[in-house]
Amino acid sequence: MTFKHSFTTALKGVGTHKSRSALTILGIVIGITSIILIMSLGQGAQDLILNQIQGMGSKTIVVIPGREPKGPSDAAQVFSDSLKERDLEALKRKTNVPTLGAIMPLVFGGDTGIYGGETYRLTIFGSTDLIAKIFDIAVSEGSFFTEEDVKGRADVVVIGSKVKEELFGSGEALGKKIKIKNRSLRVVGVLAKKGQVSFFNFDEAALIPYTTAQQYIFGIKYFHRFIVEAEEEAMIAQTVGDIERTLRNEHDITNPEKDDFFVETQADLAARLSTVTDVLTLFLVSVAAISLVVGGIGIMNIMLVSVTERTREIGLRKALGATDGNILTQFLLEAIMLTGVGGAIGIMLGGAFSFAASVVLTRVFELAWVFTLPFSAVAIGVAVATGVGLVFGIYPARQASRKSPMEALRYE
Amino acid sequence: MNLIAVSNLTKSYFGDDVETPVLRGVSFEIARGEFAAIMGPSGSGKSTLLHILGFLDAATGGEYRFDGKTMDDYSPDEIARVRNEKMGFVFQAFNLLPRATVLENVKLPLLYSTVKESEWNGRAMKAIEAVGLGHRAHYRASQLSGGEKQRVAIARALVNDPQIIFADEPTGNLDSKSGQQVMEILQKLNEEGHTIILITHETYTAQNAQRIIKILDGKVESDEVVNHRRAANHFIK
Ligand SMILES: Nc1ncnc2c1ncn2[C@@H]1O[C@H](COP(=O)(O)OP(=O)(O)OP(=O)(O)O)[C@@H](O)[C@H]1O
Ligand SMILES: [Mg+2]
């Protein structure tokens, strides 16, 4: 018997019981739909995050205090106060890091902003005026604070559009004073609406000179980050090397294993985040895979019923010359066809849901989300669906092929 | 060498450690081109015997040779091949695929054969016409009358041009008129050279055969020639 005829025979077998076949594959459809949906959304989320990081500029280098985290659960809180004013001065020196284009210290934290009777939970960034350039943000009213403000620890603040809305409503904000940690800060600028940049939402932020933030708001003498821009993208590696050497020198570190800081480039960050989303996607896919096992057992169950119901047909086919192998192939192909069709439907549904989700995410949540249906997801969907058919179809198919033709013919 | 040689054949069913003997030593031979009827009361083991003759079941003891060979001489796949090429089966319950058309039902044995696909339709149509159902070829099996169904089953048994046709009470579910039509077709097939073994418990149906073997309590009770009409030798398959 040729494969073509095994195939058409199986096709007729499946087609004879359309509504039952449809119900049988439901579990597979749901399983594959979830897998495709998860993989597609996972890829979309990854692309989104990577795009936002790239929004920070590919020449950007971040210096972070503390030991470099060695795994996802390593909190790296040791030496978290290791970046000091002295380090900033050292890094600024051209002799130490000749390819450094710009450097901006950063301190940040959350606190409540008060104006009149209104309060709002702010994200506070203490930095220099370079923050506008590095994060590509602009004011819609007023202006940024100046270098003079930084030097003089001026009590000035630039607020995000959401902050303005919450504290001042439609009223004027410029020149008004908001209270943070009992310190009155004069609003000198309001940021244009921007949404999420990298991990920060500047609409909900208050930007103040880092000197003011260190002294009056956070009460600390160290920095949470140095944001460095290399002069050219091609000089990143060299810049990183110079930064590390300078800081080790400043901190009297000879063994790089003992570093109390670490340097992260945008490429590093992208790679780390990809790992996180990959792990998350894998985890969710494994959860969805459980539904496939359930679906597979459903298939096996129905195939066993089908084999029993069609005992006489099996006996007849054997009497007419079908070999055990012919019967095995027929029933196995039926199972694979069912799961294959289930898989195909699941891929289409998963793709459709993911597309719908991308529309909602872009329209309603205003994210720069791009719909992607990774080829790997489709390939996995097809492979897993047929695999489930093969694994869960083999037992019923064997049962069918082993029936004695005489017993099968006598079966009522 | 006779086509069928049964000697001292026994068959018991074993269920729950209890042995139920059904055939207790049956012996006979059937020559090529013969038309033999096997008769006996219900439960006497006629179907059991036919299943053994058709290589659908193995005997418990004794020996059965088909065309000189026993079932043990073949592998399972070769047995399937023998059933496919040399034997045709007609059952009391028709055993058609109800949703398939007449043509598809008749083509079923070809599916498992080595016959080229280009010949399938021609062969199947020839068999369907031989049983007088050319005008019903594209009907679904479930749309046919009982007599028509049984003629389709005969066409299916015929399509691979087998040496022998086993028919287990082919008229059992039919009225006497369609029963008679079926018997006429079997007669004609016998005249064209097919060996036929017919199981029946109706005496008038058995009269179509040349020879009647009566089974009682698992043994041959009588074996007599009732009719000397035979297929001309050069036709015999
Ligand atoms: N699989 C089986 N297991 C146990 N006993 C069986 C089995 N198949 C048949 N028998 C028994 O064997 C005996 C003969 O059955 P068989 O079907 O050969 O009779 P039969 O002569 O064809 O009868 P009928 O004319 O009613 O068709 C019966 O008593 C039946 O109960
Ligand atoms: Mg019987």
Interface test with A, best of B53, B74, B83 (most A CBs within 10 A): B83
Q: Are A320 and B97 inside 8 Å of each other by CB?
A: no
Task: Specify if B61 maps to a domain.
Answer: yes
pTM: 0.72
Which range of residues forms the domain containing residue B167?
A: 4-225
CA-based nearest residue to A396, from A309, A327, A304, A322: A304
Whole-number pLDDT of residue B148: 94
Asked if A402 is an interface residue toward chain B (Cβ–Cβ < 8 A), one would say: no
Centroid of ligand 1 to alpha carbon of A412 (angstroms): 13
Q: Are A320 and B108 inside 8 Å of each other by CB?
A: yes
Q: Are A5 and B85 inside 8 Å of each other by CB?
A: no
Question: Between B83 and A255, where is the model more confident?
Answer: B83
CATH code where residue B26 lies:
3.40.50.300
- Distance from the Cα of B108 to chain A's closest Cα (Å) equals 8
Across residues B88-102, what is the average pLDDT?
92
The total number of structural domains in chain B stands at: 1
Whole-number pLDDT of residue A74: 59
Cα separation of B187 and B97, whole Å?
Answer: 26
Question: Between B196 and A21, where is the model more confident?
Answer: B196
Q: Are A320 and B89 inside 8 Å of each other by CB?
A: yes
Task: Specify if B235 maps to a domain.
Answer: no
Task: Specify if B162 maps to a domain.
Answer: yes
Cα separation of A12 and A313, whole Å?
Answer: 13
Q: Are A409 and B56 inside 8 Å of each other by CB?
A: yes
Task: Specify if B146 maps to a domain.
Answer: yes
Cα separation of B28 and B32, whole Å?
Answer: 13
Centroid of ligand 1 to alpha carbon of A316 (angstroms): 18
Whole-number pLDDT of residue B232: 61
CA-based nearest residue to A355, from A136, A36, A84, A30: A36
**Is the Cβ–Cβ distance between A261 and A66 less than 8 Å?**
yes
Of A16, A326, A404, the CB nearest to B112: A326
Asked if A309 is an interface residue toward chain B (Cβ–Cβ < 8 A), one would say: no
Asked if B43 is an interface residue toward chain A (Cβ–Cβ < 8 A), one would say: no
**Is the Cβ–Cβ distance between A379 and A401 less than 8 Å?**
no
ipTM (interface pTM): 0.93
**pLDDT, block means (10 residues), chain A with 412 residues:** 82 82 87 90 84 71 83 60 90 90 92 90 92 86 92 94 90 91 92 74 91 92 92 87 91 86 83 83 84 85 88 93 94 91 92 92 81 87 88 91 88 78
Task: Specify if B169 maps to a domain.
Answer: yes
Q: What is the 3-state secondary structure (H, E, C) of B160-225?
A: CCCCEEEEECCCCCCCHHHHHHHHHHHHHHHHCCCEEEEECCCHHHHCCCCEEEEEECCEEEEEEE
Task: Specify if B126 maps to a domain.
Answer: yes
Whole-number pLDDT of residue A16: 80
State the helix-helix crossing angle for B146-158 and B176-191, rounded to 10 degrees. 20
Task: Specify if B233 maps to a domain.
Answer: no
Whole-number pLDDT of residue B160: 93
Whole-number pLDDT of residue A273: 79
Confidence check: pLDDT of B49 > 60: yes
Ligand 1 binding pocket, CB closer than 6 Å = B 13, 15, 20, 22, 40, 42-48, 201
Centroid of ligand 2 to alpha carbon of B63 (angstroms): 21
Task: Specify if B22 maps to a domain.
Answer: yes
- Cβ < 5 A residues, ion ligand 2: B 47
Asked if A11 is an interface residue toward chain B (Cβ–Cβ < 8 A), one would say: no
Question: Between A410 and B236, where is the model more confident?
Answer: A410
Name the band, by pLDDT with cuts 50, 70 and 90, for residue B83.
very high
Query: What φ, ψ does residue A313 adopt, rounded to 5°?
Result: -60, -40
pLDDT digits (tens, 9 = 90+) for B202-222: 888 998 999 999 999 999 999
What contacts B15, CB < 8 A, 6 or more positions away? Answer: none
pLDDT digits (tens, 9 = 90+) for A2-37: 788 888 888 888 888 888 888 888 888 998 999 899
Cα separation of A74 and A255, whole Å?
Answer: 20
Confidence check: pLDDT of B76 > 80: yes
B97-to-A19, A302, B105, B108, B140 alpha-carbon distances in Å: 19, 20, 6, 9, 9
Q: Are A312 and B95 inside 8 Å of each other by CB?
A: yes
Asked if B156 is an interface residue toward chain A (Cβ–Cβ < 8 A), one would say: yes
Cα separation of A91 and A243, whole Å?
Answer: 7
Query: What φ, ψ does residue A136 adopt, rounded to 5°?
Result: 55, 55
Asked if B95 is an interface residue toward chain A (Cβ–Cβ < 8 A), one would say: yes
Whole-number pLDDT of residue A39: 87
Whole-number pLDDT of residue A329: 93
Q: What is the separation of C-alpha A326 from the centre of its chain, rounded to a whole number of angstroms?
A: 48
Whole-number pLDDT of residue A55: 63
Look at ligand 1, atom 24, and give the residue with the nearest C-alpha: B42
Cα separation of B193 and B171, whole Å?
Answer: 21
Q: Given the structure tokens 């949404």, which residue do they identify?
A: A195
Mean per-residue pLDDT over chain B, rounded: 92
